[in-house]
Structure 1
Amino acid sequence: MPELPEIEATVRLLDAAVRGAEVDSARAPGLATMRTFAPSLDALAGGTCSGLRRRGKLLLVGFEGGGLEAPATLVLHLMSAGRLQLWEKRAGPRDRTVRLVVRLRGGADGFAEERELRLREFGTKQAAWGKLLLDDQVAVDETISHLGPEAWPDPPDLTELPPRRTLRGAIRDQRVIAGIGRTWADEILWTAKLAPLRRCGDLDDEQRARLRQAMIDVLGGALGLYMDGGVDPADPDGKPRKPLALPLPDKLPLPLLVHRRTGQPCPRDGTTLLAVHYEDDEMTYCPTCQTGGKPYKDRRLSRLLKD
């Protein structure tokens, strides 16, 4: 699932291109994509795109004018396999990945021809969704109103973490802290040298400060690599990476040191990285620098270990 660094990079690149663009039309080929019916997507025609922003892992695309009675925001949740991309050609009738399309003309980058802002989703689940809300409805919508404080750039001091929750479970809970998923949770906890299944209530002030700083460093470092380029710390060849540019790739090359690297040596102490496997998740950790030499039991397909 795209998380805070990937969503933030997407917002910055797309906003720089489509802010001020005129809306030609909007439609949702994905039958289950839209969760709202009023205002309708047709109301966007003739209006303009007022820009993109982010809240947690949600994309928010602003519109005004056209058939809208007031400024509105298209709230998009990409779920695990969705992507929001800008294309210069229209989607073909056989492209079954398309869930929502907004056709635009012009924009902040001076592009004069028609382009498509396209929500695509890979796989067959069709879990990605959207809501078109008038701006005065956005803050009170249950999806957004229940979100916790942002994990970056200024995360909370973490004294209010639920004491009985595990660290990995708590920082992934969007109601507690918004923006972190399974991928960056593993990277953050490894950076902070904290056991992922440790209870939040067991942390002292120094450990909470270390965790907060790890959020800033890890999430900000990934975003900086996406936007500015540079050497990926996970790349053994040390080749400089170019900054992201439009059109965005279907899969971003994530600069990961531990997540998805089970069986490889820990970059810090060389210990073999281990994992706990869940039904739809894999938690990667170092049994030396995170759990004090005590590996977790990996009960695959078991419900005994809960994150």
Structure 2
Amino acid sequence: MPELPEVEALALDLKGRLDGRAIVRVDIAAFSALKTFDPPLSSLDGTFVEDVTRHGKFLDIATGGLHLVVHLARAGWIRWRAEVPALPPRPSTKSGLAARVVLDDDSGLDITEAGTKKSLAVYVVRQPADVPGIARLGPDPLADEFTIDVLQRILEDAGRAQIKGVLRQQSIVAGIGNAYSDELLHAAKMSPFKPASSLNPDDVQVLYDAIRDVLGDAVERSRGLAASELKGEKKSNLAVHGKKGAKCPVCGDVVREVSFADSFLNYCATCQTGGKPLADRRMSKLLK
């Protein structure tokens, strides 16, 4: 799933490609992806792109006083095309194409989604906050306003909730997903199951530094890369996420996994849980 660093880099790449360009039209290939009807999609036709930014994991293309907002969900991505086909795409659930943005020189963007679970969302709105998911976002962890005091209040308000779940909740902290929550908790040497309110002031400082460092470093590594390079850059620099069975790059212990119904987490027992493996609840149920 694209998270804050990839969406930040994607916005930067697209800003360089789209700034001042005219949108000829936007074609929808997967009708379920379009979540709004007013303003109509056709209101983007002939508008000039003014900016490309992000809000959490939402990509925002500002054009003609409106906003084309895309949430890439778990398996979505955007691909630049130097030349798009002359004919609009046919509606299809198999091609993976959700939408296409056609520009004034016949280049454009393909907004795609892999897999069968379709969660990608496209919005045309007058203001970004008209998108419910954006309106609910918590503070951005790389913004100046995200201070250690803000993090302290977040953890206190979360009570006994597990720290990984708190960090992934977009209405609490914007932009952190499954992969980077694993990464920053590994950097902070904290168990993903640690209760949020149990962190003492020193713990909060360590977690705050890990959030800023892990996400900040990922943004800097991604800066200037083309969209086609971002997935590979992310995967090659992960320490534990998606690395089940590999060696922890810090201590050499094996990276372990806890599986859930529709996701998983990875961690190093030596670095994060005092050497104690966490219970894999899904596997435990299967063995009963």
**TM above 0.5:** yes
1:170 is aligned to 166
Residues 177-186 or 155-164, more deviating: 155-164
Residues 182-191 or 285-294, more deviating: 285-294
Q: In structure 1, how many angstroms separate the alpha carbons of the residues matched to 2:251 and 2:49?
A: 49
Residues 197-206 or 144-153, more deviating: 144-153
2:240 is aligned to 258
2:33 is aligned to 33
1:274 is aligned to 256
Q: Which has the higher contact order (CA 8 A, sep 6+)?
A: 2
Shift of residue 124 of structure 1?
2.5
Contact 1:149–1:156 (CA<8 Å) still a contact in 2?
no
Shift of residue 153 of structure 1?
4.5
Per-residue CA shift, 1:57-106, capped at 9, x if unaligned?
11011110xxxxxx11111110111112221121585881211111112x
1:232 is aligned to none
TM-score by length of 2: 0.89
Q: In structure 2, how many angstroms separate the alpha carbons of the residues matched to 1:127 and 1:102?
A: 19
1:72 is aligned to 66
2:180 is aligned to 184
Aligned residues with identical type, % of pairs: 33
1:240 is aligned to none
Distance verdict in 2 for CA 1:261–1:118, change over 3 Å = same
Q: Secondary structure at the match of 2:189?
A: coil
Residues 117-126 or 94-103, more deviating: 94-103
Per-residue CA shift, 1:18-68, capped at 9, x if unaligned?
01101111121111011101111111111111121001011011110xxxx
Per-residue CA shift, 1:269-294, capped at 9, x if unaligned?
12222111112222111111211122
Q: In structure 2, how many angstroms separate the alpha carbons of the residues matched to 1:251 and 1:187?
A: 16
1:122 is aligned to 114
Q: In structure 2, how many angstroms separate the alpha carbons of the residues matched to 1:46 and 1:297?
A: 56
Q: In structure 2, how many angstroms separate the alpha carbons of the residues matched to 1:87 and 1:179?
A: 27
1:96 is aligned to 95
Q: In structure 1, how many angstroms separate the alpha carbons of the residues matched to 2:61 and 2:110?
A: 12
Q: In structure 1, how many angstroms separate the alpha carbons of the residues matched to 2:33 and 2:282?
A: 33
**Residue 139 (structure 1) aligned to one of 129, 146, 152:** 129
Could you list the runs of 5+ residues in structure 2 that have no partner in the other structure? none
Q: Secondary structure at the match of 2:216?
A: helix
Per-residue CA shift, 1:139-172, capped at 9, x if unaligned?
2542111100002244342112212211100000
The runs of at least 4 aligned residues of structure 1 exceeding 3 Å deviation read 91-95, 153-156, 249-253
Q: How does 1:1-307 map to 2 (within 5 A)?
A: 1-64=1-64, 71-91=65-85, 93=89, 96-105=95-104, 113-135=105-127, 138-154=128-144, 155-157=146-148, 158-160=151-153, 161=155, 162-227=158-223, 244-245=225-226, 248-249=228-229, 251-254=231-234, 255-300=237-282
Per-residue CA shift, 1:121-153, capped at 9, x if unaligned?
112222201110012xx3254211110000224
Q: In structure 2, how many angstroms separate the alpha carbons of the residues matched to 1:301 and 1:75?
A: 39
1:235 is aligned to none
Contact 1:257–1:267 (CA<8 Å) still a contact in 2?
yes
Q: Secondary structure at the match of 1:189?
A: helix
1:234 is aligned to none
Contact 1:48–1:63 (CA<8 Å) still a contact in 2?
yes
Counterpart residue type for residue 277 of structure 2: P
Q: In structure 1, how many angstroms separate the alpha carbons of the residues matched to 2:32 and 2:81?
A: 23
Q: Secondary structure at the match of 2:212?
A: helix
Counterpart residue type for residue 31 of structure 1: F
TM-score by length of 1: 0.83
Shift of residue 252 of structure 1?
3.2
Q: Secondary structure at the match of 1:195?
A: coil
Shift of residue 209 of structure 1?
1.1
Cα RMSD for the two superposed structures: 2.0
